[in-house]
């Protein structure tokens, strides 16, 4: 036997020993990875369980939030109806304004949900009239300076009544109640806001309220038909001026006014 033949078994033994060590290390790695995989599966199962619980909790919270909002709306709508009983407005007027505002908001590019919230909030625009004394609110003749100053405060009264609510609809209603008599050129009240300082929801309600007021009978004025009303809003009549309105809303009004006419006729007193 040669020297080379004497060394050969030891080389094979070393190689086999090395391979066995690699195999042990591989088994350990596989075991570790399998354990990690089991831990990941358990963690994933726990996360899925947490997600299911969270979804159920969120659904329950949404139900409670809707019920709370309905309760808020029911309470304030009753106050709104109380204020309308005192005033010359009617339930039909409130309904028309709600649908006018929703229509204009959609034409302006609002989402359906945002427009729906505006429709729900619009009836709150004059809720502050409940705090105006009957001697002023129901006076058949012109108001003197002090009476007019008190009448204008219905915007502040309404905002104060609605402020601080967690309801998004009532928060929107508070904006509208305070600012729906502001004018684009800064000549409105109570804050003399100008342009985009005025919340857009209030700008919308101001426009559609003016449309409905021009078309409705009042002790101190005759009614206007649809064409006359459109002409007054777009061109002015000395008292109502185009610069009172957001130009973007006037552009929408030019396109949408036939839909407003339809709403007026459908929900006419």
DSSP string, 28-90: HHHHHHHHHHHHHHHHHHHHHHHHHHHHHHHHHHHHHHHHHHHHHHHHHHHHHHHHHHHSS--
- pLDDT tens per residue across all 269 residues of the chain: 454 555 555 767 777 778 777 778 778 888 888 888 888 788 778 878 877 887 887 788 777 777 777 776 777 667 666 666 665 555 788 889 999 999 999 999 999 999 999 999 998 999 898 889 989 988 888 899 999 999 999 999 999 988 888 888 889 999 999 999 999 999 999 999 999 999 999 999 999 999 999 998 776 667 899 999 999 999 999 999 999 999 999 999 999 999 999 999 998 86
CATH number assigned to the domain with residue range 70-266, chosen from the 4 options 3.30.70.260, 2.40.170.20, 1.10.3210.10, 1.20.810.10: 1.10.3210.10
Q: What is the pTM of this model?
A: 0.74
Give Cβ neighbours of residue 142 (< 8 Å, ≥ 6 apart). Answer: 220
């Amino acid at each position: 036997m040669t020297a080379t033949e004497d060394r050969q078994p030891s080389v094979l033994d070393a190689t086999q020993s090395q391979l066995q060590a690699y195999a042990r290390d591989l088994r350990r790695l596989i075991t570790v990875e399998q354990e990690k995989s089991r831990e990941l599966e358990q963690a994933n199962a726990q996360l899925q369980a947490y997600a299911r619980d969270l979804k159920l909790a969120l659904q329950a919270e949404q139900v409670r939030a809707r019920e709370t909002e309905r309760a808020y709306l029911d309470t304030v709508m009753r106050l709104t109806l109380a204020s309308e009983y005192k005033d010359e407005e009617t339930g039909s007027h409130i309904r028309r304004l709600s649908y006018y505002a929703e229509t204009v908001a959609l034409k302006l590019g609002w989402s359906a949900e945002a427009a729906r919230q505006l429709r729900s909030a619009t009836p709150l625009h004059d809720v502050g009239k409940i705090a105006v004394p009957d001697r002023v609110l129901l006076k058949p003749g012109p108001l003197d300076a002090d009476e007019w100053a008190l009448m204008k405060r219905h915007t502040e009264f309404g905002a104060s009544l609605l402020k601080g609510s967690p309801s998004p609809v009532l928060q929107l209603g508070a904006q509208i109640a305070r600012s729906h008599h502001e004018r684009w050129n800064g000549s409105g009240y109570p804050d003399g806001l100008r342009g985009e300082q005025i919340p857009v929801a209030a700008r919308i309600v101001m426009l559609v309220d003016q449309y409905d007021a021009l078309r409705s009978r009042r002790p101190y004025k005759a009614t206007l038909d649809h064409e006359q009303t459109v002409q007054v809003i777009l061109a002015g009549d000395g008292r109502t001026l185009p610069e009172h309105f957001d130009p973007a809303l006037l552009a929408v009004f030019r396109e949408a006014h036939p839909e407003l006419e339809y709403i007026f006729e459908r929900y006419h007193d």
